[in-house]
Amino acid sequence: MLVFSGCKINLGLNVLEKRNDGFHNIETVFFPLKWNDALEVLENTENQSIKLSFSGYPVIGSESDNIVVKAYDLIKKNYHVPGVKVHLHKNIPMGAGLGGGSSNASSFINLMDMKFDLKIPLSKKLELAKQLGSDCAFFIENKAVFAKEKGDVFESVKVDLSNYYILVVYPNVHSNTKMAYQGITPQKPKESVKTILEAKPIEEWRTLLVNDFESSVFKNLPQIKDLKQKLYDSGAVYASMSGSGSAVFGIFKTKPNFDAGGFPFYLQEPDYSR
């Protein structure tokens, strides 16, 4: 069985405060895109474990540390499942702030549920995903949400970008999340991300909607700042770094004429059927 595993961008991201558990409380809107990896699962009759193979972009790290393996181990603790062979084709760059790995894990949970008819309740899927990473649960339902606390508590949000082109560019550099956090001072904004997105026209987002990580990341990686400006120069009505970087996206009213300079990129076209 084969599924396609998408990614997300962050529309605004405010770091509010440091938590007692060492994490930070944030607020952001996760917005899904159809830049997909491909994930295939076959039953493994040779043993009762998971065997991973890869193609596409290189996957960094050992197999035992892979988030899909961790998802399989969680499922196996809760449900009777056979061994599986999993092939992951990576189209989404790693370390880009797009949540590709988190999406792989949650898509794998959904795929295992379908393939082996596990009848896992939605609430249980969300619980399993939250154990794997703060943004993993978002990809279980894969619809726009206002995310708060560690980024794993969701509220519905009204944001519709179906009439716009969304261009995402990965500048082939890695932004370190730990360093990004170290470079900012948490504070509560005057207006929440949700209020801005629901109440303000997209033409005003440029001056109102902030990704707090940009201030520290841009200092260390000025080419990301330059890429954001290049998107605006090409006609984007709004542009931002996604998450803690390093991918940058632009939202356009018309199809952009943009030279990505050889960098990996994805263009999502309008969906006028919505």
> What architecture (CATH level 2) is domain 161-268?
2-Layer Sandwich (3.30)
pTM score, two decimals? Answer: 0.95
CB neighbours of residue 181 within 10 Å: 17
Q: Would the pLDDT of 178 be above 90? A: no
Active site members:
8, 135
Mean pLDDT of 145-174: 96
For 219-268, the three-class secondary structure string (H helix, E strand, C coil) is HHCHHHHHHHHHHHHCCCCEEEECCCCCCEEEEECCCCCCCCCCCCEEEE
What is the average pLDDT across 145-160? 96
pLDDT band at 180 (very low <50, low <70, confident <90, very high): confident
CB of 256 closer than 8 Å to CB of 236: yes
Instruction: Kindly tell me if the per-residue pLDDT of 177 is higher than 90.
Output: no
Tell me the pLDDT band of 274, cut-offs 50, 70 and 90.
low
Q: What is the pLDDT of residue 45?
A: 87
What pLDDT is attached to residue 130? 95
Spell out the domain ranges in the chain. 2-155, 161-268
- In this structure, how many other beta carbons lie within 10 angstroms of the beta carbon of residue 163? 11
Cis peptide before 246 (omega within 30 of 0): yes
2-155 and 161-268 share one CATH topology?
A: no
pLDDT, one tens digit per residue, over 217-259 is 999 999 999 999 999 999 999 999 999 989 999 999 999 999 9
Beta bridge partners of 31: 9
Taking only the tens place, the pLDDT of each residue in 34-65 is 999 999 999 998 888 999 999 999 888 888 89
Q: CATH class for domain 2-155?
A: alpha beta
